[in-house]
Amino acid sequence: MRVRTNGFDAFYESSGSGPSLVLIHGFPLDHTIWSPQVETLSKTFRVITPDLRGHGLSEATEGVYSMDLLARDVNALLDHLGVGNVVVGGLSMGGYVALSFFRQFGQRVHGLILVDTRAEADSAEAKVRREEQARNVLRNGMKELASQMIGKMFTEATGRREPALVERVRSMMELMSPVGVAAALRGMAERQDSSGLLGSVRVPTLIVVGEADSLTPVADSERLAVGIGGSELVVVPGAAHLTTLEKPREVTGAIRGFLGRIPR
Ligand code: MLT
């Protein structure tokens, strides 16, 4: 579905009915990274999966996409859909957006799901690398960045077993708008450290991470789990960064179990 909200043409899918769950994809990806979870969870929940500004089928506006802006985009979409309270989930950059959403709109959040992500801001070196990548995609397109990133999404074993999955995600990345990707890179580079926010998270929280994630390693999730009192941490065996697609049954099962335990 398409809608004009917060100054851009947004694409999203909404499946099922019941209590609302919004699942936010990572970088440079789109809403389909949640497809396996949507299939199961939409039997009991209304699952909303947006394409963030500049990603997938959503419009790529010029500028810098701060995590706060992307969270405001999600909030505007929920307003448009008439959603009140919501469980917010995000993978990697989607997790940065989920934490910003909690900071800005915490009153409507009654659960958090943080997948393969972290609370900390970028290091000085990471900021420099992001700017180089942004300039490179604007000059030369997405191929090189997609090649750099694809090897980190899945374990080698998955790459051997499911080459079609790897190629599907590579083309997803290659099809991203360079303008949107550069804007997201610059937005991630300037994001604030959310570590100080964790102690104020009083809603039930599930943290999920692939045991072989090199982009947002297990230690990052362990710090999230220590920071958010009462949170649950699930480490997914045999998975790297893109756990929702690499180990769909395990991730869906963890989310379904979590949602079943939290008050509606
Ligand atoms: C993502 O998967 O969203 C990105 O790798 C996150 C990042 O680059 O920090």
Closest residue by Cα to residue 50 from 85, 108, 6, 103: 6
Has residue 141 got a pLDDT over 80?
A: yes
Point out the ligand 1 atom lying closest to the alpha carbon of residue 130: 8
Pocket test for ligand 1, best of 23, 185, 188, 213 (most atoms within 8 A of CB): 188
Phi, psi of 240 (to 5 degrees): -105, -115
pTM of the predicted model as reported, rounded to 2 decimal places:
0.98
Percent of the chain scoring above 70 in pLDDT: 100
Mean pLDDT of the region 242-257: 98
Q: Which of 234, 221, 210 is nearest to 153 (CA)?
A: 210
- With left for phi above 0 and alpha for psi between -120 and 50, is residue 7 left, alpha or beta? left
Alpha helices in the chain (DSSP H): 35-41, 67-80, 93-105, 124-140, 143-153, 156-161, 163-174, 178-189, 218-227, 243-246, 248-261
pLDDT of residue 36: 98
pLDDT value at residue 263:
77
Q: Residues enclosing ligand 1, CB less than 6 A?
A: 26-27, 92-93, 188, 215
Tokens for 1, please give them. Answer: 């579905």
The per-residue pLDDT for range 38-87, each reduced to its tens digit, is: 999 999 999 999 999 999 999 999 999 999 999 999 999 999 999 999 99
**8 Å CB contact between 158 and 121:** no
Largest separation between any pair of C-alpha atoms in the chain: 49
Measure the CA–CA gap between 97 and 93, rounded to whole angstroms. Answer: 6
